[in-house]
Amino acid sequence: MTDFLDEKKQEIAARLKELRPLVEEYHRLEAAAAALDGVETPAAAPAARRGRRPSTSKPAGSGSGRGRPKGSGTRSKQALASVTAQPGITIPELAQGMGIAQNYLYRVMPELQKDGLVRKEGRGWYPVEAA
């Protein structure tokens, strides 16, 4: 009976080892799908004009005026969806799943943490449960 149990334990362990990469891929794809749910397909945009934009006057201390306003992008929403779908995900895994550079997420994730939406444990990021 002991031989039978040992044999079955070994078979199960071998099968688990075989399936682990597929489960991990499933979780990555699930997180990517969740992240893409909030992204709309852009309509065909008219050709952009070349040249400089007219400058706008800004009050002193209002920032440089370059780029979009802070928090107006969807990357943080995508990252949060990925963390929720796959707790413990690392920044390299997030970047790979989202198809972006890691350095961007090293700025986004601390902002989500500051907002109380995620927490970091070791290298992994976890969603903060709503109270």
Distance CA 131, CA 116 (A): 11
pLDDT digits 0-9 by tens, 45-87: 555 555 566 555 555 555 555 655 555 568 888 888 899 999 9
Tell me whether residue 2 is exposed, middle or buried, using C-beta atoms within 10 angstroms of its C-beta: 0 to 12, 13 to 18, 19 or more.
exposed
Distance CA 79, CA 32 (A): 9
pLDDT digits 0-9 by tens, 91-129: 999 989 888 888 888 888 998 899 899 999 998 999 987
Q: Which helix (H) or strand (E) holds 86?
A: none
Closest by CA position to 92, among listed 102, 77, 81: 102
What the chain holds in terms of domains, given with CATH numbers, is 2-38+71-127 (1.10.10.10)
Cβ-based neighbours of 102, under 8 Å, separated by 6 or more = 91, 92, 95
